[in-house]
Amino acid sequence: MKTWKFAAPLIVCLLILNVAHGKPKKPELPAVFETARYVYVEAEAGDMFKPSLFPEDRQAIADVQDSLRRWNRYALTTNRSEAELVFVVRKGRLAEGQLQGGISGGPVPPRGQTQPGQNDPAANSGPGQPRGGPYFGAGSEVGPPDDMLRVYIQNEGHRSSKVWDRSMDGGLDAPSVRLMQQLKEAVERAYPQPPPTSNKP
């Protein structure tokens, strides 16, 4: 009788551990990575055809697209509204300069000024400064030094839930594109694809 009293709690504990061990683990990624078929790639500042997009971000879009083609799990779409997942990239930069230009209807701004006169059309005018003509300046952007890759669920043409967010120094550099490698490994681990079926009789 005493033996049973000592054994009963042990048996109960073993049963609880067995049930807990038998429960399937929750995937580390949401199910949309398994069900999605179409994806779209853009930069944080816009798509690759935006004229003011930094060249590094435009190249990162192309490199992520190439990685997706090699992966061959999702199909790329050029129409953002058709995508179930939106991949958003941003190359790391502490301070980056970019030329800007245009035609001014007022005085040509002095060197270092990015825009022609503000509210007053005569602002910044003076001897030796002809009115009108082209102007050039430099814009700058400051941000995190690491490359960034984020994945969002698309909802009626807009990004909704963020389902992946990683950053890494040089993580978007081709040919390895290590941030894409991390995502691929995580998706394949959570939702492995079945092996291709043979058509042989």
Q: Where in the chain are the domains?
A: 32-94+143-190, 97-141
Q: What is the pLDDT of residue 26?
A: 56
Q: Which residue has the higher pLDDT, 106 or 64?
A: 64
Round to whole Å and give the CA distance between 31 and 53. Answer: 32
Instruction: Please write the tens of the pLDDT for every residue from 64-74.
Output: 999 999 999 99
> Class assignment of domain 32-94+143-190?
alpha beta
Q: What is the pLDDT of residue 115?
A: 44
pLDDT of residue 43 exceeding 50, the answer is yes
Maximal CA-CA distance, the chain: 110
pLDDT of residue 103 exceeding 50, the answer is no
Read off the pLDDT of each residue in 94-123 and give the average, rounded to a whole number.
45
